């Protein structure tokens, strides 16, 4: 059942190119010129009349929501808020029939997310589900939605569901933006084209597995880790830190890189590994100066860079090279090395990777 892999988690990490191909099948056309989601066609009126989108979820699904917010706001010019379902449901939030609530849940059974959906429905919002498990409680409670179609996820730490959620959110942003007329043709076509080749780029990234396994040995005994990223990659930093915490029990925190100087920089010394997502995008120069600040304090930097980057490579301790892609799609490739890093560190420590202590696959109690 593990298809030759030692753990479900590794199998599911390696399945991601295929999963995303399945997720996009029939949605991104074969010519890679258009994206259609049946929910957007069927509920066009409701979706176009909305004044705001509120995304709710927990854990990894909430991280996917943070990426979705940036893509939807940038392409659709509609305000998006992202909330922990557990906070939203108890806050007496302002929600009306002018809102769309997007509920993200792999299992479709998370108690807080289901309660958030029910509350939003009572307030008159239109509910859109992004789930994996077909026919689960959350998809049944929504008005419409899109399944991520990545197949069963067995490992407790979510991997392929995350990239599936980000892919569906990207397709939703593209389909809505087209209907709303808020995206120019060049931008639309170039993102759709690039999205269609993301599975190949993920495949390239998976080839880093051996290198990451080696690198993991150096950091197995670290007590703490920092993960930094900006823009679209800030949620990737959060997700990388969560994966490491969950399965290796090493304390890790994710931060937007620029926040470092407002506190976390005090933690940096020669024992502190810092994973920095430093791809060549609009934030490159800023992240580069963050790296200089870390190195000046002797922190150990593991940098995720765009292939061919020789500036950052010279400054840092370890380099992981990623294929170049559109900035808004970078999370889909940048997440993979972080999943692998957490996996190999946990394996080095002899931890139960597929069933980490204290965690359950679906959290059906509060
Ligand atoms: C992280 C993880 C959890 C879940 C969270 C939400 O690896 O698995 O943080 O993401 O419990 O679960 P779903 O998406 O099933 O609602």
Cβ of 165 below 6 Å from ligand 1: no
Cβ of 70 below 6 Å from ligand 1: no
Residue in 106, 133, 145, 335 to alter for ligand 1 test, most ligand atoms within 8 A of Cβ: 106
Q: Which atom of ligand 1 is nearest to the CA of 362?
A: 15
160 catalytically annotated: no
Cβ of 58 below 6 Å from ligand 1: yes
Q: pTM, whole model, 2 decimals?
A: 0.97
- Determine the angle formed by the axes of helices 198-206 and 185-196, rounding to 10 degrees: 40
Q: Residue by residue, what is the 3-state secondary structure of 32-65?
A: CCCECCHHHHHCHHHHHHCCEEEEEECHHHHHHH
Cβ of 105 below 6 Å from ligand 1: yes
Cβ of 158 below 6 Å from ligand 1: yes
Alpha-carbon gap, residue 31 to 28, rounded angstroms: 8
Q: What ipTM does this complex have?
A: 0.99
Alpha-carbon gap, residue 333 to 366, rounded angstroms: 33
pLDDT at 361: 82
CA terminus-to-terminus distance, the chain: 31
CA of 362 to the centre of ligand 1 (A): 7
Alpha-carbon gap, residue 184 to 151, rounded angstroms: 34
CA of 289 to the centre of ligand 1 (A): 33
List the chain residues with pLDDT less than 70: none
What are the percentages of helix, strand and coil residues in the chain, rounded to 5? 50, 15, 35
CA of 11 to the centre of ligand 1 (A): 18
CA of 104 to the centre of ligand 1 (A): 10
CA of 314 to the centre of ligand 1 (A): 37
pLDDT tens-digit readout, 247-265:
999 999 999 999 999 999 8
Catalytic residue among 121, 349, 351, 361: 361
pLDDT tens-digit readout, 73-90:
999 999 999 999 999 999
Q: Which residues lie below 8 Å from residue 259, measured CB to CB, with a gap of 6+?
A: none
């Amino acid at each position: 059942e593990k298809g030759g892999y030692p753990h479900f988690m590794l199998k599911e990490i390696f399945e991601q190119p295929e999963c995303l191909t399945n997720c996009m099948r029939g949605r991104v056309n074969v010519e890679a010129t258009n994206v259609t989601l049946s929910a957007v066609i069927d509920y066009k009126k409701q979706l176009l009349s909305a004044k705001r989108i509120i995304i709710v979820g927990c854990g990894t699904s909430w991280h996917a929501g943070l990426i979705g917010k940036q893509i939807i706001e940038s392409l659709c010019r509609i305000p998006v808020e992202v909330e922990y379902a557990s906070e939203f449901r108890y806050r007496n939030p302002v929600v009306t029939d002018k809102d769309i609530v997007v509920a993200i849940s792999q299992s479709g059974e998370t108690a807080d997310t289901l309660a958030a959906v029910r509350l939003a429905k009572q307030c008159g919002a239109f509910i859109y589900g992004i789930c994996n498990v077909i026919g689960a409680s959350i998809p049944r409670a929504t008005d419409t939605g899109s399944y991520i179609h990545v197949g069963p996820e067995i490992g407790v730490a979510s991997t392929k569901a995350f990239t599936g959620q980000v892919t569906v959110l990207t397709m939703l942003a593209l389909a809505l933006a087209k209907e709303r007329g808020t995206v120019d043709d060049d931008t639309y076509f170039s993102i759709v084209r690039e999205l269609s080749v993301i599975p190949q780029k993920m495949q390239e990234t998976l080839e880093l597995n051996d290198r990451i396994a080696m690198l993991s040995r150096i950091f197995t005994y670290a007590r703490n880790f920092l993960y930094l990223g900006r823009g679209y990659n800030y949620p990737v930093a959060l997700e990388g830190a969560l994966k490491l915490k969950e399965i290796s029990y090493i304390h890790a925190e994710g931060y937007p890189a620029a926040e470092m100087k407002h506190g976390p920089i005090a933690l940096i010394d020669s024992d502190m590994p810092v994973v920095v997502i430093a791809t060549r995008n609009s934030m490159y120069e800023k992240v580069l100066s963050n790296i200089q600040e870390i190195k000046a304090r002797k922190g150990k930097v593991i940098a995720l860079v765009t292939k061919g980057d020789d500036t950052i490579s010279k400054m840092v301790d370890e380099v992981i090279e990623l294929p170049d892609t559109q900035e808004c799609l970078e999370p889909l490739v940048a997440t993979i090395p972080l999943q692998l890093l957490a996996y190999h560190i946990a394996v080095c420590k002899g931890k139960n990777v597929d069933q980490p202590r204290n965690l359950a696959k679906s959290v059906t109690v509060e």
